[in-house]
Amino acid sequence: MSMQQPGITQFTGLRVWVIGATSGIGEACAKTLITAGARVALSGRRFERLETLCALGQVNQCLSLPLDVTKAEQIDLAYQAIVRAWHGLDLLLFVSGIYIPLRADNFALAAAEQTVQANVLGPMRAVAAVLPDMLEQHAGHIAIVGSVAGYSGLPKALAYGPSKAAMINFCEALFYDLQPRGLSVHMISPGFVETPATAQNDFVMPALISPETAAQEILAGIQQGKFDIHFPKRFSRFLKFLRLLPYPIYFWILRHFVKI
C-alpha cells in the first residue's frame, strides 16, 4: 500500500479549523495560517483569546467558535457554523489536549478519565463531525497532534502516554481507511514543546523547542502530504528506536538515562 497522499500547495484561501487555538502549538499554528491567508476557524475554551486571534486576520477571514472538546454537541454546532459560513472544510487541525503528570504513587482515576475525555474522545468527536462531508467530497485533511509519549511507556505519563498511544493507533486506522478514498491523514508527534502543559515538568526536557518551531514543522508536513510528522528529529527518532528494543534493554535504558 502506497503511503502517498495529497498535500497542500498553499494555505491561501484554505478553510481550516484549528481546535485548541488559544495557547501553545495551536495558537502558533493559527497565527501562521492567518498570516498565510487561510480562512481559519478558531476553537478553544477561552473566548477572549479567540477574539484576539481573530483580530489578526482580515475582515471575514476568521471565525471565533468557543467550545469544550468534551462536549460533542458543542463540536457539532461549531462545525455547522463553519459549513454555513464557508460551505465546507479543507483541513481539521486538532491540537487540543491536557497533560496531568501521574505516576503509580499518585495515580488518580479522575485525572485519568479527564485525560481520556480530552485527549482520546475529544479528537474522535471532532473527526466524527467532519468525516461524513469529507468522505462525500473525496477530499480533505485530518491532522491530529499527539505526542512522542505515545510511542512507549514513559515516567510521569501514566494517563497521558496511553491517551497519545491511542491517537497513534486511531490515526493509523484512519489512514488505512481514508487514503484510498482521497483523504489525507496527518499523525503529528511532537517532542517537548515550550507550552503551559510542559511548564509543569520539574525535570530537564531534552531538545525543547518553541511553539513557533513546532507550528512550522506541522504545517510543512501537512503541505508535503506526510502521514507521520514527528519532531524534533534528534529526539523523536531516538524514541522510535527505543520502542523497537526488547523490553529488558528498553527498561534498562530508561532507568539509567531518564532521570525523572
Q: How far apart are CA 41 and CA 170, in angstroms?
A: 24
Name the band, by pLDDT with cuts 50, 70 and 90, for residue 72: very high
User: What are the helix (H) ranges across 191-232?
Assistant: 211-223
Name the band, by pLDDT with cuts 50, 70 and 90, for residue 194: confident
**What mean pLDDT do residues 36-52 have?**
96
Which domain, by its residues, includes 37?
15-257
Long-range contacts formed by 234-241: CB under 8 A, 24+ apart: 234/207, 235/148, 235/191, 235/192, 235/206, 235/207, 236/148, 236/189, 236/190, 236/191, 239/148, 239/151, 239/152, 239/191, 240/151
Asked if pLDDT for residue 114 goes beyond 60, the answer is yes
Residue 2 lies in a domain: no
222-257 tens-digit pLDDT: 999 999 999 999 999 999 999 999 999 999 998 887
Our count of domains for the chain comes to 1
**What mean pLDDT do residues 42-71 have?**
96
How many whole angstroms from its chain centre is CA 126? 12
Q: How far apart are CA 217 and CA 235, in angstroms?
A: 14
154-181 tens-digit pLDDT: 889 999 999 999 999 999 999 999 999 9
Residue 8 lies in a domain: no
Asked if pLDDT for residue 204 goes beyond 90, the answer is no
pLDDT value at position 260? 65
Are 19 and 95 in contact by the 8 Å Cβ rule? The answer is: yes
Q: Which amino acid is at 248?
A: P
> 75 — phi, psi (to 5°)?
-65, -45
**What mean pLDDT do residues 218-224 have?**
97
Percent of the chain with pLDDT over 70: 95
Asked if pLDDT for residue 203 goes beyond 60, the answer is no
Residue 37 lies in a domain: yes
Strand order in the sheet with 39-43: 62-64, 39-43, 15-19, 91-94, 141-145, 184-190, 228-231
pLDDT value at position 207? 73
Q: State the CATH number of the domain containing residue 102.
A: 3.40.50.720
Q: How far apart are CA 73 and CA 81, in angstroms?
A: 12
Residue 119 lies in a domain: yes
Are 218 and 229 in contact by the 8 Å Cβ rule? The answer is: yes
**What mean pLDDT do residues 56-81 have?**
97
What are the grid coordinates assigned to 148, written together? 512522542
Instruction: State the chain's mean pLDDT as an integer.
Output: 93
What contacts 13, CB < 8 A, 6 or more positions away?
37, 38, 39
pLDDT value at position 28? 96
pLDDT value at position 87? 97
pLDDT value at position 227? 98
Q: How far apart are CA 250 and CA 228, in angstroms?
A: 23
Residue 138 lies in a domain: yes
Residue 9 lies in a domain: no
Asked if pLDDT for residue 150 goes beyond 70, the answer is yes
Q: How far apart are CA 7 and CA 4, in angstroms?
A: 9
